[in-house]
Amino acid sequence: MREHERFPERSPQEGRQVMSPYGIWGRLEQMHREMNRLFEETILPFREGGLFTPFALNPDIKEEGEKIIVTLELPETEAKNIEIDAAENYVTIKAEQREEHGGEKEDYRFQERRYGLLQSTIPLPKKVLPEAAEAKYEGKTLRIVLPKKEEKQTDTIRLNVKREPH
């Protein structure tokens, strides 16, 4: 068996364009690799923080006695742009970041704007009383204090299993 019979994409092309099932997959794979490369080159500055720093949420959660304390950094955010919803077993935080840098109002030559919107739900290790929660934002640190809910301890009762006589 000749090579061009086993691999039709390698068959001699005498002045005409031959599209074989094998050849098209090879060309599609090459095009796919090229598109991936172009996409990676396009998003690289964003990924490495060259154009802006990603707005991310990395909370610290700890238990102190009868309280659960959630602490997190929210740089470049004003207190009026932070919303906190507390429930019995989670806290949802929404924060909006707006920042502008640049020249004069009338005659500016350069102006940079940055905008970020973040929403994250943080599961809590114990049930809390959401109505008694408090939040404080100082500098760039948000601190949420949530009192734990009393867990009712049920009395344990041992049951005897009745057996039918043999």
CATH number for 60-147: choose from 2.40.50.140, 2.60.40.790, 3.40.50.720, 3.60.21.10.
Answer: 2.60.40.790
By CB atoms closer than 10 A (0-12, 13-18, 19+), residue 68 is buried
What does the block give as tokens for 162?
């009745």
Enumerate the domain spans of the chain. Answer: 6-47, 60-147
pLDDT in tens, the chain (166 residues): 565 566 655 555 555 555 555 677 788 888 888 998 888 777 765 554 444 444 557 889 999 999 999 999 887 788 898 999 999 999 999 888 776 666 556 666 666 666 778 888 899 999 999 999 999 999 889 999 999 988 777 777 788 888 888 7
Reduced 3-state DSSP string for 15-66: CCCCCCHHHHHHHHHHHHHHHHHHHHHHHHHHHCCCCCCCCCCCCEEEEECC
Contacts of residue 84, defined as CB under 8 A and 6 or more positions apart, other chains included, come to: 91, 92, 93, 94, 133, 135, 144
What are the backbone dihedrals phi and psi of residue 29, each rounded to the nearest 5 degrees, phi first?
A: -65, -40
